[in-house]
Structure 1
Amino acid sequence: MSPRNVCITAVDGQTGYLIAELLLTDSTFSKHVNSVTGLSLHPSSPKCKELTKLGAKIVTHKHGKVRDMVKTLKETGCDAICLIPPTHKDKFDITLELIEAAKKANVPNNLFLSSAGCDLADAQKQPRLHEFLELESRVLATKGLPETALGTSPVIIRAGFYAENLLLYSPQVQEDSVLPLPVGETHQFAPIALGDVAQVAAHVLSGKGKNGFSDKHRGQLIVLTGPKLISGPLLATEASEALGVKLEFEDISEREAKRVLHAQSKSDESEKEYLLEYYSLVREGKTNYISTLAFHDVTGNHPTEPSEFFKMYAEGFMPEHPQKKRKTENGR
């Protein structure tokens, strides 16, 4: 089977960047991949420049016309697209355009990165989360259509709450030894490390079978969460033990959570809304589950434990280290 040509959208974001980096530098995947093209709304961003040095081709993502996007995708020569909704106020419309363009460009393999919890979100109370369900249905609607190859090998990954989002609260951890989250005292969720999601995506994108993606992955709806259900107070305990500093959990109101995000996050407003909606799912008890079987099945490994996550990012939380400015992203 010939090496794969992969196109990754929103490649300037954390998720797209990590997936591209793995495909380019990790021999587990790179030996199965011939080329990596990144679509970016910000092609001059530092991440795009880094990926260019690693061998990726960066293409400017000009949205607004399906016809132009079809031409762009055809010019990349990709036979697999990793469709990540971009951080943008018009994320939904841009993603719909990408799905339609990939269909018309006849790209045979499609990996769509969605969000865990979208199936439990209320269209009125959690519209940003719920819109992922509509996007999933558009991807799945291509399955078996005779006029396009796009439906040959669809895969959807529903990624849970990225643990990296906790870095948004590092100022409070550093200054007040407090972890402030609007998730209540009792209900639980299972944060997943971004690198774990990228690992699964890289396995899917580099896997091959007679019909496109590997038969092990083709047609799968993969739900990914971290390996441990954890409440706000337990999360503070895990962080305390990992960092060696006593932290307290503070259950803040949604109004205060909005103020914190506006003050400390540079993300697009839609991404902040997404985070607040996910927190509301936690408060409603709709995230009281873990889903790790798919991660084990795809990678053969165990997902990152919360304690391991806090150790990995210790210098981002600990006051004695200069805080590294990392742009966090919820998924998409």
Structure 2
Amino acid sequence: MVKTLKETGADTLCLVPPAHNEKFDICVELVNAAKKANVQNVLLISSAGCDLAERDKQPRLREFVDIETLVLSSKGDASTSTGHSPCVIRAGFYAENLLLYSPQAKNDGIIPAPVGRDHKFAPVALGDVALLAAHVLSGKGQHGFDDKHRGQLMVLTGPMLATGDELAAAVSKALDTEVVFEDISMAEAKKVLHTQSHNDESEKEYLLEYYTLVREGKTNYISTTAFVNVTGQHPQDPVEFFKVYAEEFKPTPARKKRKTEAGN
């Protein structure tokens, strides 16, 4: 890995922790290789909410704090240039995760998720996270990254706090058809993820842990200031997001027929 990094002549590393059971160990290997290769600039894509997670209840979320520590500790290591110009983006719950429930939306007109009725969260479009990262990675300053970005901890969520019912309303508005939210148990959520998601088991655990953060009221905030300041744009709101993925959520002919028959 060190040899590869040196051969590329890369001066910048964007570290995206993989959806893998050994996520932390893989990140350790990459960061240590970057140190030996003296890769100066490091951008870490972390997770919003990791600082609010409890190690015994949400270990998959909490390990992002350990990864952040791993990356940022290089800043004080005089033996390497790595970390001289660091940046961390804590990305919120990816709105694309809601695509996991598109079969229920298409066939039954429901969005099933274990987030409770009372608390809110602000899903963020993956494209917005990529756009923010692109601005950081392409920025240049005297010491590596652009001085506007260097050393920053940027938290990015979507622009709209929403309950499950409000998310379903956004889907309904985007598709011009009725979709409702159904609060399900964690056990039911596990079954849905098992049957409909091809993600690594560790990623499924991460999603379930994030849902518990929502239920605990720890996601009742938005954070878009850094995104607006860096990109000059506004993050995509849920209605716009669901319009982009309209085909994934549009009702099937069978569901339309059932609805028509019910109306008659």
Bucket of the pairwise TM-score, normalised by the shorter protein: over 0.9
Matches within 5 A, 1:43-122: 69-122=1-54
Counterpart of 2:18, as a letter, is: P
What's the CA shift for 1:320? 4.6
Structure 2 contact 89–153 (Cα < 8 Å) conserved = yes
The residue aligned with 1:176 is 108
Shift of 1:263: 0.2
Please state if 1:214 is matched with 2:146.
yes
Task: Name the CA distance, whole Å, in 2 between partners of 1:154 and 1:174.
Answer: 43
The Cα shift of 1:319 comes to 2.9
Q: Which residue of 2 aligns with 1:329?
A: none
Written as runs of structure 1 = structure 2, the 5 A alignment for 1:146-225 is: 146-225=78-157
1:207-228 C-alpha deviation (Å, 9 max, x unpaired): 0000000000000000000001
Give the Cα separation in 1 of the matches to 2:19 and 2:119: 28
**Higher radius of gyration, 1 or 2:** 2
Task: Note the C-alpha offset of 1:152.
Answer: 1.1
Letter in 1 for 2:15: L
Identity of paired residues, percent?
67
2:256 match: none
Q: Which moved more, 1:71-80 or 1:304-313?
A: 71-80
Contiguous gaps of at least 5 residues in structure 1? 1-68, 322-332
The residue number in structure 1 matching 2:168 is 236
Bigger relative contact order, structure 1 or 2 (CA pairs below 8 A, ≥6 apart): 2
Give the equivalent residue in structure 2 for 1:290. Answer: 222
Which amino acid in 2 is paired with 1:318?
K
What is the alpha-carbon distance in structure 1 between the residues aligned to residue 174 and residue 68 of structure 2?
37
- CA offset at residue 243 of structure 1? 0.8
Alpha-carbon distance in structure 1 between the residues aligned to 2:67 and 2:82: 15
Aligned equivalents of 1:250, 1:319: Cα separation in 2: 17
1:87: Cα distance to partner? 1.9
Are the counterparts in 1 of residues 107 and 252 from structure 2 also a CA contact under 8 Å? no
Equivalent residue of 1:141, what SS? helix
Instruction: State the distance in 1 between where 2:115 and 2:8 align.
Output: 43
Give 1:154's aligned amino acid: P
Deviation (angstroms), 1:115:
0.2
Report the AA paired with residue 273 of structure 1: E
Runs of 4+ in structure 1 displaced over 6 angstroms? none
In 2, the alpha carbon distance for the partners of 1:309 and 1:148 equals 42
Contact 2:43/2:87, CA 8 A, preserved across alignment: yes
1:132 corresponds to which letter in structure 2? F
TM-score (norm: length of structure 1): 0.75
Q: Shift in Å at residue 166 of structure 1?
A: 0.4
**Aligned residue-pair number:** 253
Quick one: which amino acid aligns to residue 233 of structure 1? D
Amino acid at match of 1:284: E
In the TM superposition, residue 252 of structure 1 has moved relative to its aligned partner by 0.3
Tell me the TM-score normalized by structure 2.
Answer: 0.94
Query: Aligned letter for 2:155?
Result: V
The root-mean-square deviation of aligned C-alpha atoms, in Å, is 1.0
CA contact (8 A) 2:111 2:180 kept: yes
Q: Could you tell me how far apart the structure 2 residues matched to 1:170 and 1:254 are?
A: 18
Partners of 2:109 and 2:251 within 8 A in 1: no
SS in 1 for 2:88: strand
User: For the residues of structure 2 that align with 1:222 and 1:148, how far apart are their CA atoms?
Assistant: 24
**Following TM superposition, by how much is the alpha carbon of 1:145 offset from its aligned partner in structure 2, in angstroms?**
2.1
Give 1:77 deviation, angstroms: 1.4
Structure 2 residue matching 1:151: 3-state secondary structure? coil
- SS where residue 186 of structure 1 aligns? coil
Q: CA deviation at 1:88?
A: 1.7
For residues 192-248 of structure 1, give each alpha carbon's deviation from its aligned partner in whole angstroms, at most 9, with x where no partner exists.
Answer: 000000000000000000000000000000000000100011111111111111011
1:306 corresponds to: 238
**CA deviation vs aligned residue, 1:135-169 (integer Å, no higher than 9, x gap):** 10111101142211112110000000000000000
Hey, what does 1:267 align to over in structure 2?
199
Query: How far does residue 103 in structure 1 lie from its aligned partner after superposition?
Result: 1.2
